[in-house]
Amino acid sequence: MSEAHTFHPTVLREYDIRGIVGKTLTPADARAVGRSFGTVVVRKGGKTVCVGYDGRLSSPELEEALVEGLVSTGLHVLRIGLGPTPMLYFATRDREAAAGIMITGSHNPPDYNGIKMMLGKGPVYGQQILELGTMAAKADWEQGQGSSEKIDVQDEYVARLLKDYDGTRDLKIAWDAGNGASGEILRRLTAKLPGTHVLLFDEIDGNFPNHHPDPTVEANLVDLKKAVAEHGCDIGIGFDGDGDRIGAIDHKGRVVWGDQLVALYAADVLKSHPGATIIADVKASQALFDEIAKHGGNPLMWKTGHSLLKAKMAETGSPLAGEMSGHIFFADKWYGFDDALYCGVRLAGLVSKLNTTLADLRDGLPDMVNTPETRFQIDEERKFAVVEEVKGRVKASGAKVNDIDGVRVTTDDGWWLLRASNTQDVLVARAESYSQDGLERLKNALIEQLVASGLSAPSFEGGGSH
C-alpha cells in the first residue's frame, strides 16, 4: 500500500488541484491526495475530515478513491455526498471537523475535475498544495485503520442559509443553477424562502446540457435574462458549477457584476461594522474601492484568488471581501467562505428590505466604462516573465503602479491591469476609465507594453459601461 505516487506536473495548482479526467487526473491521484492530505491532518492531531463532491460524471469515482486514501491514514471520514462546495465548507465548520475536501471541477469544462481543501477554518493553497506532491513522491504517509460514514447535512445547511434572510417584502426571483451541484439545495432553499421563485436548470447534470456553468460570462446568462423578462422578476441569480460564485441580473436584464455586488453588500455591512476593512481583488473597479470609502469603510486591494482573499480576511478581521469573478465572502453573520447561495439570500434580503430595485441600486454606483476581463493564451514559461518586463518598464517611466498581483497602472484616465493567471497558461488584461476616450488611451498603453514584450495585441471586446 505504500508505493510512491507522482502527479502530472500541471495538476497541483495555486488554489486547488485540477486536471483532465483520465489524462492528468485519475482515481490514483485522488487516492494519493487522500493519503498525503490525510497525513497532514493526522500529524496536526486531527481525527475527522468531511468530504463532498459535485455533479460531474467523474466525481463519485474520484470521491471513492479519495476517501480510501484518507481512511488509510487512520482518519474518520464524514461523507456528505453530492452538493455545492460551500455545503462542504459548512459541514466542516458545523461538525467541527479538522479538515474538509471537495471533489469539484468548479466552472471548468465537463472533462475536467479537481479537489479543493480546507484545513481547520482556512484554505489550503500555494506551498501547502505542492507539499502534498512531495509527500506522495516519497510515500511519506501515515498508516492507520480509519473509517467512514455517510451523513446528510442538506436540511441543516438550508436552515442556516435561511437564518440570515432579512427581507421585509416578497420578491419574484429567477434562479439559474446551470445544472451544477447547487440544484437540490436551491429547490429546498426556495421552497422555504419568502416570495415567488422561478428555477432554471436545477437538475444536476455533469454534461451541462443547457449552458456552461460560469455566471461571469454574459453569454451564459441569456436564459436567466429571458426568465427575468418573461416572468417579470425583480432579480435573477445564477451560480457556477459548484455553487461558490454568483452572477446577478436586474429587472432590466442588465448584469450586476461581482465588484458591483460587493459595493452594494459593503454599504449594508458597514452599517453594522463601521470603519471595517473591506477587501477586493486587483481586477475590481475603482468605483468599488471609492464606494467602500464613501460608506466609511477601509478599502483594501488584494491579490486575485479565493484562497488568498480568505486568508487576508482572517488576518484583517474583515467582514466582507469579494472578487470580480463572483467569489464573495461574508464574515458578517457567516463563516467567511465564498457561498453563492448565501450571497443570493443576502441579495434578496437587501433588495427586499431597502424597498427599492436592484436596478436602482446598480444605477446609484458610479458609471465606469471598461473592458471585460480579457484572457489571452501565452506560453506557461513566458507568462510571469512578461508581467515582470512590463512592471520594470512602467515603474521606470514613473507611472503609478500597484504590483500586489501583476501590474495595475493608474492614470488620470483610470487604470489598466496585466496579470498572469495562477491556474491557466493565460495573461489577464483589463482597463477601466471614466470616459470612452480615456478607455481607448488606456487600452493603447497596455497594448504598447505587450508589443514591447514581443506579444501581439489582444482584442478587447466591447467597452461597455459597468
Verify that 328 and 392 share a domain, yes or no: no
Q: Which residues pair with 200 in a beta bridge?
A: 176
- Report pLDDT digits (tens) over 305-329: 888 899 999 999 999 999 988 999 9
Asked whether residue 283 is domain-assigned, the answer is yes
Mean pLDDT of the chain: 95
What is the pTM (predicted TM-score) of this model? Answer: 0.94
With cut-offs at 50, 70 and 90, classify the pLDDT of residue 2. low
Asked which of 152, 183, 203 is the last residue of a domain, the reply is 152
Asked which of 106, 136, 152 is the last residue of a domain, the reply is 152
Query: In this predicted structure, what is the pLDDT of residue 59?
Result: 98
Task: Answer yes or no: are the C-beta atoms of 40 and 119 closer than 8 Å.
Answer: yes
What gap in Å lies between CA 300 and CA 24, rounded to an integer?
A: 37
Q: What percent of the chain has pLDDT over 70?
A: 98
Asked whether residue 427 is domain-assigned, the answer is yes
Verify that 393 and 317 share a domain, yes or no: no
Query: In this predicted structure, what is the pLDDT of residue 459?
Result: 77
Asked whether residue 330 is domain-assigned, the answer is yes
Least reliable range by pLDDT among 73-77, 122-126, 229-233: 122-126
State yes or no: pLDDT of 37 exceeds 60: yes
The residue range of the domain holding 288 is 156-363
Verify that 308 and 334 share a domain, yes or no: yes
Verify that 185 and 218 share a domain, yes or no: yes
In sequence order, which ranges of 326-457 are alpha helices (DSSP H)?
340-353, 358-363, 380-396, 436-452
What gap in Å lies between CA 30 and CA 105, rounded to an integer?
A: 13
Residue that wins the pLDDT comparison between 103 and 311: 103
What gap in Å lies between CA 123 and CA 426, rounded to an integer?
A: 24
- Report pLDDT digits (tens) over 47-80: 999 999 999 999 999 999 999 999 999 999 999 9
- Dihedral angle sign, alpha carbons of residues 443, 445, 449, 452: positive
Verify that 39 and 176 share a domain, yes or no: no
Verify that 419 and 281 share a domain, yes or no: no
Asked whether residue 11 is domain-assigned, the answer is no
Query: In this predicted structure, what is the pLDDT of residue 14?
Result: 82
Verify that 200 and 71 share a domain, yes or no: no
Query: In this predicted structure, what is the pLDDT of residue 178?
Result: 97
Asked whether residue 466 is domain-assigned, the answer is no
Asked whether residue 256 is domain-assigned, the answer is yes
Asked which of 115, 136, 152 is the last residue of a domain, the reply is 152
- Report pLDDT digits (tens) over 140-194: 999 999 999 999 999 999 999 999 999 999 999 999 999 999 999 999 999 999 9
With cut-offs at 50, 70 and 90, classify the pLDDT of residue 457. confident
Verify that 169 and 235 share a domain, yes or no: yes
Asked whether residue 253 is domain-assigned, the answer is yes
Q: Which residues does the annotation mark as catalytic?
A: 106
What gap in Å lies between CA 208 and CA 57, rounded to an integer?
A: 10
- Report pLDDT digits (tens) over 277-314: 999 999 999 999 999 999 999 999 999 988 889 999 99
Question: What's the structural domain count of the chain?
Answer: 3
Give the CATH number of the domain where residue 402 resides.
Answer: 3.30.310.50
Verify that 176 and 310 share a domain, yes or no: yes
Q: Which residues pair with 77 in a beta bridge?
A: 49, 148
Query: In this predicted structure, what is the pLDDT of residue 13?
Result: 87
Length of the chain: 466
CA angle in degrees (0–180, nearest 5) for 292-297-298: 95
Task: Answer yes or no: are the C-beta atoms of 153 and 88 closer than 8 Å.
Answer: no
Q: Cβ–Cβ contacts within 10 Å for residue 412, how many?
A: 9
Distances from the Cα of 385 to the Cα of 129, 419, 450, angstroms: 23, 11, 12
Give the CATH number of the domain where residue 233 resides.
Answer: 3.40.120.10
- Report pLDDT digits (tens) over 383-440: 999 999 999 999 999 999 999 999 999 999 999 999 998 777 899 999 999 999 999 9
Asked whether residue 8 is domain-assigned, the answer is no
Distances from the Cα of 388 to the Cα of 203, 403, 417, 450, 455, angstroms: 45, 10, 13, 12, 14
Verify that 358 and 402 share a domain, yes or no: no
In sequence order, which ranges of 301-375 are alpha helices (DSSP H)?
306-316, 340-353, 358-363
Query: In this predicted structure, what is the pLDDT of residue 464?
Result: 52
Distances from the Cα of 206 to the Cα of 26, 29, 112, 295, angstroms: 17, 21, 11, 42
